[in-house]
């Protein structure tokens, strides 16, 4: 079956199948950006491993950040099926030629931010990613099935952190509200620009890479999240929020902030990227040593 017929029949494109150049490029860009987001996302949460306030929370957080490294690994592997190299993709990240999710350019200031990231950021990621499990490109769709299973565990643990804080001391509850106040708007921005301004959406929908529009997904996230805030006893920081006909009408985030952060002007853009580059550069001698050792072993075996 040729490419378009497979897409029309809602089938899967596999690495050896013929595909238009634009389809390949779009997927590489999207999967790489997704992989980069996983590994940059390790930083804001990793920031709290050493200070997690109980050993149980410390263990859960370590496991979560480790899961993200694992997600990065299999997303890079999925991208490699399209004929690119992980090392080249990392270079693109390090030199700013490829992006990662803007949400990770915000700082984690208190322990409650770890709860808010799990609940809101992983919650938004799930809404974005569940449809990708049906993406037309087979390796990406299969990677997403695995990622989504773990993300839903992450989202629950984030909610549980906040639930505990909201039922704790007044200081803990205030910490939770402050985290929601700071993370609400950036979380809404995770769905990208409004449909009227989205540059990649139409073609991606036609190719079966994207299944729902940014605004549809954003609405789905708000409808799912607001009742959860009620359970926590927290106030969503939106004066325009109204429940109407089973849906929530909400205020749109300030998209100029999103565009600014994407361009590099967010509170942690410099910090995240330079931490990543430093880890990579500090590790160069280790990777070179591993390669040299493997070559020596091979030469000895020959």
Partner 1 sequence: MNDLFAYTLRLGDDALISAQRTAEWIAAAPQLEEDVALGNIGLDQLGQARSLLQYAGSFDGRTEDDLAYFRDERDFLNVQLCELPNGDFAFAMARLLYFATYQHLLYDELRSSADETLAGVAGKAVKEVAYHVDHATQWVLRLGDGTEESHRRMQAGLDALWPYTAELFESDSLVQRLPAAVDPSTLSAAWTDRVLGVIDESTCERPSSSYQHTGGRLGRHTEHMGYLLAELQHVARSHPGATW
Q: How does DSSP classify residue 168?
A: S
Q: What's the min distance (Å) between Cβ of 182 and partner 1?
A: 18
Instruction: Tell me if residue 242 falls in helix, strand or coil.
Output: strand
Nearer CB in complex with partner 1: 199/285: 285
Q: What's the min distance (Å) between Cβ of 96 and partner 1?
A: 19
Instruction: Tell me if residue 286 falls in helix, strand or coil.
Output: helix
Q: Measured between alpha carbons, how far is 170 from 176 in angstroms, rounded to an integer?
A: 10
Nearer CB in complex with partner 1: 19/103: 103
Binding site for partner 1 (CB under 8 A): 39, 42-43, 46, 49-59, 62-63, 65-66, 69-70, 72-73, 76, 111, 161, 164-165, 168-169, 171-172, 275, 278-279, 282-290, 292-293, 296
Q: Ramachandran region of residue 181, left (φ > 0), alpha (ψ -120 to 50) or beta?
A: alpha
Nearer CB in complex with partner 1: 81/213: 81
Nearer CB in complex with partner 1: 17/150: 150
Q: What's the min distance (Å) between Cβ of 30 and partner 1?
A: 19
Q: Measured between alpha carbons, how far is 231 from 222 in angstroms, rounded to an integer?
A: 14
Q: What's the min distance (Å) between Cβ of 76 and partner 1?
A: 8
Q: What's the min distance (Å) between Cβ of 185 and partner 1?
A: 25
Nearer CB in complex with partner 1: 16/300: 300
Q: What's the min distance (Å) between Cβ of 101 and partner 1?
A: 16
CB 191 within 8 A of CB 213: no
Beta bridge partners of 276: none
Tokens representing 147 are 């990622």
H or E element, residue 247: strand 247-249
Nearer CB in complex with partner 1: 69/145: 69
Tokens representing 199 are 């540059």
Q: Measured between alpha carbons, how far is 104 from 45 in angstroms, rounded to an integer?
A: 9
């Amino acid at each position: 079956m040729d490419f378009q017929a497979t897409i029309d029949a809602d089938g899967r494109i596999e690495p050896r199948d013929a595909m238009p150049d634009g389809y390949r490029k779009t997927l590489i860009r999207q999967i790489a950006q997704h992989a980069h987001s996983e590994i940059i996302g390790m930083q804001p949460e990793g920031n709290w491993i050493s200070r997690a306030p109980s050993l149980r929370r410390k263990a859960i957080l370590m496991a979560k950040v480790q899961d993200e490294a694992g997600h990065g690994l299999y997303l890079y592997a999925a991208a490699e099926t399209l004929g690119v190299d992980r090392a080249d993709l990392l270079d693109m990240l390090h030199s700013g030629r490829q992006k990662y999710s803007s949400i990770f350019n915000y700082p984690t200031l208190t322990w409650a931010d770890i709860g808010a990231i799990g609940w809101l950021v992983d919650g938004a990621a799930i809404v974005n990613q569940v449809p990708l499990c049906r993406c037309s490109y087979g390796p990406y769709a299969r990677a997403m099935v695995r990622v989504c299973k773990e993300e839903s565990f992450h989202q629950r643990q984030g909610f549980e952190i906040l639930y505990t804080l909201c039922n704790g001391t007044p200081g803990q509850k205030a910490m939770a509200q402050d985290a929601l106040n700071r993370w609400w708007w950036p979380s809404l921005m995770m769905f990208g620009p409004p449909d009227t301004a989205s540059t990649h959406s139409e073609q991606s929908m036609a190719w079966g890479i994207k299944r729902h529009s940014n605004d549809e997904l954003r609405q789905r996230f708000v409808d799912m999240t607001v009742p959860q805030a009620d359970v926590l006893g927290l106030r969503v920081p939106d004066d325009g929020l109204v429940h109407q006909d089973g849906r929530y009408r909400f205020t749109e985030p300030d998209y100029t902030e999103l565009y600014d952060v994407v361009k590099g002007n967010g509170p942690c853009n410099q910090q995240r990227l330079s931490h990543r580059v430093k880890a990579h550069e500090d590790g160069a001698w280790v990777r070179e040593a591993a390669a040299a050792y493997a070559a020596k072993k091979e030469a000895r075996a020959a």
